[in-house]
Each structure stands twice: as structure tokens, then as C-alpha cells.
Chain A
């Protein structure tokens, strides 16, 4: 189920082509196949004829949240301290303020002190200032001298940004986690020049051997035990 194929300019100055949508039950199933990719490129070229397959930097499939029933905003039927705000298909961003109000009502219904003024609560994650596109990079060096060390050259991600991704309130626990927070390894070369360096920084932060660095899920390790 999808509204069709889009060509979406991203904030990373790249173009996102797709999506398709296929229902399945296995959340680990994230395979791409040649036939679907051919169809996506053909459809994208009808919109933007200059799109060239040879410049594709990454092809991927991912999971969208799906649940039965849909729009599950409720206290869990079995676990008393679990509130769901899930199964919201396509309208997640636009419905989020209303969903938040509903969740607040549910929490109040559980007898929780939702009116308490908690000034120490974390309302938003601290953004990590980026070198890429920064008009005055000099200002960044005062924040952290590690801005002088560019680790991922394609996306211009520095050691300072990677350190911040590991030390923030919701720290990165995998290479994918670092990529999603900083874009490191996500550029044109897809980590061909920097993934080893990012892995070593990750293993230092988590004090474990580099082979055990998770690429994505905890058991998907970079290397193997010798």
C-alpha cells in the first residue's frame, strides 16, 4: 500500500527514490530485490528523467510500524505500566500533538501526577552542531577541539560529532546508531573510507573489542571472535 513513487530531495543534499510497501510478519526481513529496484528506478525516471542508476549510493528496505489494530493508543491489556502510542500509519507527524494529549489523559487515568511541573525533564534531545554547511566553522572549535578532526569526509562528520552521539541522552549503541545521529558512513562512499575509524571510536566509547561493535542489532557484530 503506497501512494506511488516519489523523488524526494533530502536534507543531506541527496535524492530519495521510492517507496514501495509490502506487508509481512518478520521484522528482520529487510531485503531488496532487483525486480523491485528496477521498477522504482523506472518510475522515478518518469518524474525526473535525469536520474541515473549508476549514481545510486544506497538501496535499502526498512520497516514501517504496523499493528493490528491500527491506531493503538491505549494502556496495555496485560502490562499495567505500559502505554502504547503505536500503529499510526502515515499520519504520525500530523496526529502527534493530539496523540500526546491522549497519552497524557491515559497517564492521568492511571493516577500519575501529570500536572506536576518537572523542570528537569528532558523535553528534547540536544542537537549536535554539524560542521557540514556551518557558516562559521571557527565557532565550533571553541565548543570542542575535536571538530578539527574530520572522520567521515563524504558527509564531513568530525570526531566531536561522533563523540557527542556516544555521550548524548540517548547514546548510539551501534554503527547504524552513529550514522542516524551524525550521518557518518552514510555518504557517497558508504563508509568505505571511514567505517573502520568510526568502529574504533565506538569500541573506545563502549570499552569493548572492535570485532564486537554492533553494526545494527546487538548480535550483528562488525567482525567475529577469533
Chain B
């Protein structure tokens, strides 16, 4: 029997594991101690896929750090494990583009945050800004707007360069502007304004970056396409549970043909 490791216990990773279990020995690893990924552990689909992948070994709350083509190094509370497998599936999800990737010029003031970070902080009661500007028109931007408002923002300006492609909270405190591009940031020690292409300045006390999506690749040795590595990282925005499951099943098919 062949052995396969899947990094990421979101919908995609679970769907891949569910497809392969029974024909391969499957190990699923996730940094977070519960399954479900960005779609959450309470989703019925998470429960269904967890049940379907029941024969897989689940290493939740553990981090896959290194792949050498034969062995996956996994770090967890019980120490280091070396999991020998024939193929690795990277289903570690996506993140919004960062500041260098967006080519935003200017200094390095405080208050410029990835939407992932802003959401995580706001969910824990941290006020990221009273008048934040959220950059992006998709899932991460919309989620950041909701969380920032709960965590004390008075007014939120959304700048969506490609338009809005998910629903934003209908709220008098939220102003959405589309078709504009952020090119610069000014302020010290905290961000005071952002500059748009064309020269317009918008005042703000935080810039939250939620535009675009890029695959998260943080298993050393499995960053680039290589031998025995299959990437399963859907980039659709808004993300769908059905799309994530489909990408997971396709990854399982790719593993079958590779082995």
C-alpha cells in the first residue's frame, strides 16, 4: 500500500484524504487543532468529510516543516515525527497579497496589516484603527470590515481595485469605492494616509491589505512544484466549499496518476 501525507485539514485536504483513504495509508497534518480550515469546523461538510476520511491518521495541532521527497518532518507537542510517504499533498490554503507583492511605496509606519492579521487581532478585541482603510473587494476584505467594526472602528473605507465580488456589510459606517488602486502609504509613526494611482490621498489610521490571493507555501522543500508534490490550493474568491472539495478530489486523482 502506498502512503500519502496531506498538509492542511481544511475542506480541500479532507476531501483529498477522503478520496485516497482505503487505497493509500493517509496522514493529515494541520497547524490548528481542529479540522475545517477557513470554512470552519462547524460546517456540515467538514463533519461529512471527516467521517469519510475516518481511516486517515489525523495529526491536528502539529506543523509540517520539511519535505525531502521521501519524509515529512512534523513538529508537535509530543516532539518531532518523521512521516515516510510516497507523495505529499500541500493543501495549506491561501492568503491575501502582501505589501511588496502589491508594490505599495512609502515608509514603514505602524498600522499596515494583512487582513488575516487584522481579523485575528479584531476577533480578540484589539482595535486596529478607528478609521481604517480596507484594500480589496473579496472574502478577506469583507471579513476584515465586519471584524474591524465590531472591534471599535468608527468608519471604514473600502478600496476595491477589481470591484466588489462578495457581499459587504450594508452599514452606514462603510464607504465602498471601486476601480481604484493603492500605490503609496504615508505617516510616521503610524499610517496617516494612503495615496491612490492618480494622486488622491485618503486619510486613515490603518491600512488593511485584503486584495488578491496567493497560495501559502510554507513546507520547506515543497514550495515549488517538484517530485512527488501535488498542490491543492483553490484561488477562487469568494471561496466556496464545493470548489474546495472539488480541488481536493482532483488532487487525489493527481496523486493516483503520479504513483
Task: State the A residues within 8 Å of B (CB).
Answer: 28-34, 37, 54, 56-61, 131-132, 137-138, 141, 145, 147-150, 153-154, 156, 158, 187-193, 195-197, 199-200, 209-211, 214-217, 219-226
| Residues of B contacting A199 in the complex (Cβ-Cβ under 8 angstroms) | 121, 126
Stretch at the interface among B13-21, B45-53, B182-190, B225-233: B182-190
B124–A196 contact, CB under 8 A?
yes
Beyond A54-B101, A192-B96, A223-B127, whether A137 also contacts B80 by CB under 8 A is yes
A57, A138, A224: residue with the most chain B Cβ atoms closer than 10 Å: A224
Task: Give the complex CA separation of A213 and B78 in angstroms.
Answer: 31
| Chain A residue at smallest Cβ distance from B66 | A156
In the complex, chain A residues whose CB is within 8 Å of the CB of B152: 226
Inter-chain contact B98/A189, CB cutoff 8 Å:
yes
Complex contacts, B246 vs chain A, CB 8 Å: none
Separation of A59 and B190 alpha carbons in the complex (Å): 18
**Given contact pairs A192-B117, A197-B120, a sample of 6 additional A-B residue pairs in the complex whose CB atoms are under 8 Å apart:** A28-B188, A188-B217, A190-B99, A195-B117, A222-B121, A224-B128
- Whether B116 pairs with A193 at a CB distance below 8 angstroms is yes
Q: Is the CB of B121 within 8 A of A131?
A: no
B113: CB under 8 A from chain A? yes
CA distance A220 to B217 in the complex (A): 30
The answer to whether B218 and A153 have CB atoms under 8 Å apart is yes
Which among B103-111, B155-163, B167-175 touches the partner chain? B103-111
Q: Across the interface, which residues of B come within 8 angstroms of A29, CB to CB?
A: 107
B116 with A221: CB separation less than 8 A: no
Q: Which residues of chain A are near B116, meaning CB under 8 Å?
A: 192-193
Dominant secondary structure at the A interface: loop
For the complex of A and B, list the 9 residue pairs with the smallest distance between their C-beta atoms, beginning with the closest: A196-B120, A220-B189, A220-B110, A150-B63, A192-B114, A137-B80, A215-B110, A226-B152, A153-B218
Q: How far is the CA of A189 from the CA of B97 in the complex (A)?
A: 8
Number of B residues contacting the other chain (C-beta, 8 Å)?
49
Expressed in whole angstroms, the Cα–Cα distance for A147 and B220 within the complex equals: 17
Q: Which of B105-151 contact A (CB under 8 A)?
A: 105-111, 113-114, 116-117, 120-121, 124, 126-130, 151
Tell whether, in the assembled complex, residue A32 and residue B105 are in contact, meaning their CB atoms are under 8 Å apart: yes
Which residues of B are found within 8 Å of A215, using beta-carbon distances?
110
B residues neighboring A (CB under 8 Å): 31, 63, 65, 73, 75-80, 95-96, 98-101, 103, 105-111, 113-114, 116-117, 120-121, 124, 126-130, 151-152, 183, 188-190, 205-206, 216-218, 220, 223
A149 to B74, CA, bound (A): 11
CA distance A172 to B117 in the complex (A): 20
The answer on a CB contact under 8 Å between A31 and B106 is: yes
Chain B hits for A216, CB < 8 A:
108, 110, 189
Q: Which residues does chain A contribute within 8 Å of B206, judged by CB atoms?
A: 223-224
Q: Of B105, B114, B151, B189, which contacts A33 at CB under 8 A? A: B105
Given contacts A60-B108, A223-B128, A224-B128, contact A145 B77 (CB under 8 A): yes
What distance in Å separates the Cβ of B195 from its nearest Cβ neighbour in chain A?
A: 11
Q: Which of A34, A137, A153, A197 contacts B183 (CB 8 A)?
A: A34
A131 to B220, CA, bound (A): 12
A selection of 8 A-B contacts at a CB cut-off of 8 Å is A56-B101, A58-B99, A59-B100, A137-B79, A145-B77, A189-B98, A199-B121, A223-B128
Q: Which residue of B lies closest to A60 (CB)?
A: B108
Residues of A within 8 A of B220 (CB): 132, 156
Closest CB in chain B relative to A134 CB, distance in Å: 9
- The reply to whether B105 and A220 contact each other, CB–CB distance below 8 Å, is no
**Contact at B117–A196, with CB atoms within 8 Å?**
yes
Among residues of A, the one whose C-beta sits closest to the C-beta of B115 is A192
B61 to chain A, nearest CB (A): 9
When distances are taken between beta carbons in the complex, the residues of chain B under 8 Å from A138 are: 79-80
